[in-house]
Every structure is written in structure tokens, then in C-alpha cells.
Amino acid sequence: MLLIQSNAIADALNSSEWVFPIAECFHIAAFAWSIGLIALVDFRLLGVGMRRESAAEIARATAPWTLLGLAVVLLSGPVLFLSDARMYLHNPSFQFKIGALVIAIIFNYTIHRKVALSNSSTAAVQMLVGAVSLALWVSVVFGGLFIAFA
């Protein structure tokens, strides 16, 4: 715990006033990128958006780009976290966000992927999965913002 609080990264983050905002910009741009691409699949599962493509096609086309975005998110996130680890750990909104994030990522790479790629699920199942996915990721975003307001 002591190491989390006082480490080289935290020192770098807190000594320059620009490191945190820049890391945040990467974090936000990357989540807009990745959640947005996931949302494209979700919209298709809900039956709207690029309807001439199947959900499977959109999922397959966006998968590598989504992964890239998520990689930047998951690299920039800990950088932000380490700037004030204790505060974040005790922040209820942060705790909620991480919980929602874990569920969202697991859901995305299991049930969501399966339903999106299969093309054989019923419309009801597709819509449910699309809606749940959107709800999970929007919860992560809300959780993230409320960190500053909690």
C-alpha cells in the first residue's frame, strides 16, 4: 500500500502540472473511441445504425480497433490512479466505476461477442445484449465523472 502511495510514477505525475491532464485526454479520447465502437455493434444489435451490415460484420471489423482503444484506456487509467491512489481507493464512485468496468469488459468479451458473432440469436436476445452492453458502458462513464463530484 505504501508503494502505491509513494512511487516514481506518482512523483512524476504530481511534479508536473501537465502530466495528469494529458493522461486524462488520452483516457477520454480512448474511451470515446472504444466505447463508441462497441456502441456501433450495440446499435446494430438493437436493429439500428448500419443495417446493411450484420452485427457479426461490424463486430469483426471493429474488434481490433476497439482493442486498441481499450488498451490505451487501461494504460492511461492506472497512470491517473497512481497520482492519488488513496483518494481513488476510498472514492465510492471510483469503486463503482471499476466494478462496472470489470463487468463491462467481461460481458463484452463473452456474451456480447458470442451473440454479436453468431447471427443466430433471436432478435429479442440481440436487443437485450445490445441494451445491457450500452447500459454497462454508460455506467462506467457516469461513474468516472462522478469521481470528481463524490
Partner 1 sequence: MTYIRESGLTYPVIMSTHLACIAVFGGMIVMTDLRLLGVALQDRPIADVINGLRWWKRLGFCIMVAMGIMLAGSKATDYYPNPYFWTKLSLLALIGIHALIFRPRVYNDPEKLDSSPIIPTRAKAAGALSLVLWTGVVCAGRLIGYYEPPNQKGHIVAANEPRP
Using the minimum distance from each CB to partner 1, give the nearer residue, 97 or 115. 97
**Could you tell me the CA-to-CA distances from 80 to 18, 27, 86, 94, 106 in Å, in that order?**
12, 9, 12, 12, 22
First-to-final CA distance of the chain: 23
Q: What's the min distance (Å) between Cβ of 20 and partner 1?
A: 8
How long is the chain? 150
- Written as one string, the DSSP assignment of 45-101 is HTT-SSTTS-HHHHHHHHHHHHHHHHHHHHHHHHHHHHTTHHHHHH-HHHHHHHHHH
Nearest approach, Cβ of residue 136 and partner 1 (Å): 12
145 binds partner 1 (CB under 8 A): yes
Cell representation of residue 28:
477520454
- Least Å distance between CB 120 and partner 1? 21
> Between residue 5 and residue 24, which ones bind partner 1 under the rule CB under 8 A?
20-21, 24
* Residues of this chain, 21-60, that bind partner 1 according to CB under 8 A: 21, 24-25, 28-29, 31-40, 43, 48-53, 57-58
Site for partner 1 in 104-143 (CB under 8 A): 134, 137-138, 141-142
Q: What are the cell numbers at 97?
A: 466505476
Minimum CB–partner distance for residue 87 and partner 1 (Å): 8
Q: Least distance in Å: CB of 129 to partner 1?
A: 16
Query: How many angstroms separate the CA atoms of 31 and 33, rounded?
Result: 5
Return residues touching partner 1 (CB under 8 A).
20-21, 24-25, 28-29, 31-40, 43, 48-53, 57-58, 61-62, 65, 87, 134, 137-138, 141-142, 144-146, 148-149
